[in-house]
Each structure stands twice: as structure tokens, then as C-alpha cells.
Amino acid sequence: MKSFFKILVAALLALVVLGLGVYLGYRIFAPQQNKNQVTAQVILTALRDRGFLVTQTYIFDEPVTITKKSGSALSNFFFGQTITARGAMEANLGIDLGKVSTSDIQIQADKIIVTVPKAQLFNVRLIGPLDVQNSQGILKRLLENDNGYNEAQAELSRIAEESATKPEFVDRATESARTEIARLVGYIAQGKTIEVNLK
């Protein structure tokens, strides 16, 4: 009777050890598909972490002349003003990835399609010194002296913005953005074809 009890306990112990071994083996060696599954939310989070993705930078260095006339030649002599300025302006274009939503990301069996907005201007800023030459009428210099610096910088910014947003520059920035986004998503979803479309 004692030997039968020992055999029963040993058999039950062997079953418990075997079951535990099978369970641990499954947990260790089971496919990790769910843990590493790429979802639209995973891709969206990775893209939004980049914020505004600058893909093209242009430098514009053109002189500007601002002439302020106040009527007749005599009036211009006293109150006229001519500002001549030159400075390098940097214009950055790219895509605001904050505007991408989960509905813009489609996941298929072997392909991921991401739809993004067209590139737009991010900012324009002065890089380096701004050289301003200011010629003012006699009374203007005495009564309303203005060095013309702020007005010159605003005009240079306006011209740089106008130039940077021409279709050929925007198209180049958009194509660069599509390439960069495909590369970023490719890091997350390795082994899948990445297609980037425009809204």
C-alpha cells in the first residue's frame, strides 16, 4: 500500500513538472507577434514625436530697396527716405506631422500606406548680419529718425517667404518629406513596403 502511494505521488509530481515545463517552454519560445505588432497608433506616435519635419532649407541673399516718397521733390528732400538692405534669409519647409491621424495610416498584409499633407513653410529667419543703409530727408532725420532696420528685415522676410513658397520649392520639399517619412516608417515596420501619399 505504501509503495502504491509512493508511485502515485511520483506520477503526480512528474505530471506537474512536465506541465510546468511545457508551460514555461511555450512562454519562452512562443512567437512574439502580439508584442511586436505594428499598429497605426504605433506609427502615429513615432511620426508625431518628430513634430514639424523640416525637409528643405533654402538660403536667399538678395538686396532690397525701400523708397518712401511724400509727394513732391521738395517734400521728398525734407521727408523722404530710402532704405537699402542686404542679409541672408533662411527659409525652412516641411510637413507638420501633428496633422497626421490614425485614419491616414492603412496597414495591409505586406504594405503600409501613409497619407500626409503637402509641404508648407515652417519659418523664415535672418542668419548672419543685416547690412542697412538709410538715406533720410533732413526734417525726417530730425523729427522721426528711423534707422530702417526692422522695416528692412520685414521686407527681406516677405521676399524670402514669397520665393520659398513657389511651387517648385514646395514640390521639392514634399518629395523629400515623402522619402524621409517612408524611411522613418520603414524602421518601425521592417520588411513591409511603405507607400507615402499626399492628402
Give the model's confidence band at 22: pLDDT under 50 very low, under 70 low, under 90 confident, else very high: confident
Provide the residue type at 36 as one letter. N
**Total number of domains constituting the chain:** 2
DSSP one-letter string for the chain: -HHHHHHHHHHHHHHHHHHHHHHHHHHHHS--TTTT---HHHHHHHHHTT-EEEEEEEEE---EEEEE--SSHHHHHHH-EEEEEEEEEEEEEEEEGGG--GGGEEE-SSEEEEEEPPPEEEEEEEEEEEEEEEEE-HHHHHHS----HHHHHHHHHHHHHHHHTSHHHHHHHHHHHHHHHHHHHHHHSTTSEEEEEE-
DSSP one-letter string for 68-95: E--SSHHHHHHH-EEEEEEEEEEEEEEE
- 2 and 42 both lie in a single domain: no
Structure confidence at residue 140 (pLDDT): 54
- 184 and 91 both lie in a single domain: yes
Closest CA to 113 of 124, 100, 95: 100
- 169 and 149 both lie in a single domain: yes
- 8 and 97 both lie in a single domain: no
Which residues form the domain of 19? 1-30
- 132 and 66 both lie in a single domain: yes
- 12 and 69 both lie in a single domain: no
- Burial (CB < 10 A; 0-12, 13-18, 19+), residue 27, is exposed
- 20 and 88 both lie in a single domain: no
Structure confidence at residue 179 (pLDDT): 94
Rg (CA), the chain: 33
Give the model's confidence band at 39: pLDDT under 50 very low, under 70 low, under 90 confident, else very high: confident
- 47 and 15 both lie in a single domain: no
Lowest mean pLDDT among 14-18, 78-82, 116-120, 146-150: 78-82
- 161 and 127 both lie in a single domain: yes
Give the model's confidence band at 145: pLDDT under 50 very low, under 70 low, under 90 confident, else very high: low
- 24 and 47 both lie in a single domain: no
Give the CB-side neighbour count of residue 192, counting CA atoms within 13 A: 23
- 146 and 168 both lie in a single domain: yes
- 139 and 177 both lie in a single domain: yes
Give the model's confidence band at 176: pLDDT under 50 very low, under 70 low, under 90 confident, else very high: very high
Q: Please, what is the average pLDDT of the chain?
A: 82
